[in-house]
Amino acid sequence: MTQTISGNHPEHHFAGAGKPITGGKGAVQIVQDYQLSRFACDLIAQNGDPRKPEVE
């Protein structure tokens, strides 16, 4: 388990979660997805490019 200078473990804030997607012929495929903690969302917003409209 990695730890950053702040003492927060990334695994606790960026949890991986598989998500089933059903295809056109009924085949189910698991795609990689993430569940973010409030802390992770805050980090992403703080490090976003303010010139982009999605970050406003």
Low-confidence ranges of the chain (pLDDT < 70): 1-4, 55-56
23 and 50 Cβ atoms separated by less than 8 Å: no
pLDDT at 28: 92
Question: What is residue 15's predicted lDDT score, i.e. its pLDDT?
Answer: 79
Yes or no: say if 11 and 1 are a contact pair by the CB < 8 Å rule.
Answer: yes
Closest C-alpha to 33, from 17, 21, 22 = 17
Contacts with 8 (C-beta within 8 Å, 6 or more apart), sequence order: 39
d(CA 33, CA 18): 6
- Give the model's pLDDT for residue 56: 53
**Domain range summary for the chain, segments of one domain joined by +:** 10-55
